[in-house]
Structure 1
């Protein structure tokens, strides 16, 4: 007896914003592996339930995954003769529908609920992102959240990093530079972020680079951090202006565009490291303009 568990699995996929294609046997004539109404779900890396196995299921799975890769949204109907040409000996005929369900969404982990973060979420909520939003302070969150945004009040935001899904986007926008630095180490240590940006000036970037180098992080690891964040074509210090700039960089990234190089040159970094030997390594909270990209 076949175990058709696709209903519960579909609910899980929708909860995790994972797209799939539902393959349904619409019509069966003659001898076919499964009857009309049978369904299976195909994701990029899994098959849930079955339409009977064999070469028919193999071909259907291949077609479904091609639809996922192409981000197709329209339903398709295909008819298959289950003869020698398809590699099956049933001799019947099956009509299958291919229905895309859900859209691929990136996962953004946002630390900090300040003015810029709040302005940014109004934009991100309209983009293909689902957001996990962290802060230690319950009172700083707005009363209502945009669709797809989940807030988490945590006394240990650094410890939360290890629980995030792989290949997430990370934005660090907290009110505390030491917390920013601890989050930076935790995110880099994961080695699986799709994007890691931190709000701040070039001065903050140089100080963090120096501290990370002192703790044994390689240049390759340090370069996974983007700071300052945002596209240079949009500048300004108003939260809405910064939000638009940062959203533009996120869009460019998930669209596969090359991001601007904003890291200090090697010569500039070397000079800065010389200057910092006489400075304490701990960084205090700078004025507002120092935190703006």
Structure 2
């Protein structure tokens, strides 16, 4: 049991980008350890708050971890007769709703902590992603305090590339064109990224593509300029909006569409209205 209560645990899990399940007692009949409305939160390693402990909590946690292993957001109802299924002497019945929220698997690496990066992180802070901001200038990294953002200070940002997970999204907008090119070259050595983008004008894009081709790289894997061309404006926030819109458009195109698993409304009404909650 962790010291956080269920509401604080939700924020903790969201900020960490990890999957979690909210377990709520929807209905309680007879003698039960907790009343309707009681909640707990379960993640891969911890339980926060309580539904009363004992076998009831064990069964709920076990099913929650099965949902987390599938990593698919869903809502299901679980009726539990405490005597028959949980072997608890109180002998009542509870109906538990399990709401599973899948872990965040969208990681975005921002190389450069200038004005556009600062504006972009304000947008990304509201999206289901985890953000790394990498820069050699420690003073610039002080501007980032979003809960889903981690700052990385390194004298040579290219030396951090190996630590980022496969299918990461990478955006380059440092203060130095030579560093930009070095980062492009290093990222394109690996065929494991979902996206590699570079900020810049069409002239800069043309020069970088020519250099990359001359150096033997598949320059078509580099997106430059980045951002949607129809979203105009040169202010940092305008550029950031354009980049964020492009990232969202590409990201959601690649996401498989799963039918969300849930308990039917007819079954829910039957379960709540029943005097004896039975498994179905």
Looking at structure 1, the residues matched to 144 and 125 of structure 2 have their Cα atoms a distance apart, in angstroms, of 13
1:227 matches 2:224:
yes
Deviation at 1:38, TM superposition (A): 1.4
Deviation at 1:115, TM superposition (A): 1.4
* TM-score between the two structures when normalised by the length of structure 2: 0.63
Q: Which residue of the partner structure matches residue 256 of structure 1?
A: 253
Deviation at 1:241, TM superposition (A): 1.1
Alignment partner for residue 36 of structure 1, among 30, 52, 56?
A: 56
Looking at structure 1, the residues matched to 107 and 147 of structure 2 have their Cα atoms a distance apart, in angstroms, of 13
1:246 matches 2:257:
no
Alignment: residue pair count: 213
Q: Which residue of the partner structure matches residue 145 of structure 1?
A: 145
SS of 1:226 mapped into structure 2: coil
Deviation at 1:175, TM superposition (A): 1.0
Q: 1:22-33 to 2 correspondence within 5 Å?
A: none
Q: Which residue of the partner structure matches residue 121 of structure 1?
A: 121
Deviations 1:29-59 (A, max 9, x none): xxxxx94321587xxxxxxxxx4xxxxx7xx
Question: Which structure would you say has the larger RCO, counting Cα contacts within 8 Å and 6 or more residues apart?
Answer: 2
Looking at structure 1, the residues matched to 156 and 142 of structure 2 have their Cα atoms a distance apart, in angstroms, of 21
Looking at structure 2, the residues matched to 253 and 166 of structure 1 have their Cα atoms a distance apart, in angstroms, of 17
Q: Which residue of the partner structure matches residue 92 of structure 2?
A: none
Unaligned ranges ≥5, structure 1: 5-9, 28-33, 42-50, 52-56, 82-91, 258-293
Q: Which residue of the partner structure matches residue 269 of structure 1?
A: none
Alignment RMSD: 3.7
Residues 22 and 39, structure 1, Cα contact 8 Å, conserved in 2: no
SS of 2:109 mapped into structure 1: strand
Deviations 1:95-126 (A, max 9, x none): 87634246525211101111111111111111
Residues 125 and 149, structure 1, Cα contact 8 Å, conserved in 2: yes
SS of 1:108 mapped into structure 2: strand
SS of 2:146 mapped into structure 1: coil
Evaluate the alpha carbon distance shift between residue 205 and residue 153 of structure 1 in structure 2; reply closer, same or farther with a 3 A threshold: same
* TM-score between the two structures when normalised by the length of structure 1: 0.60
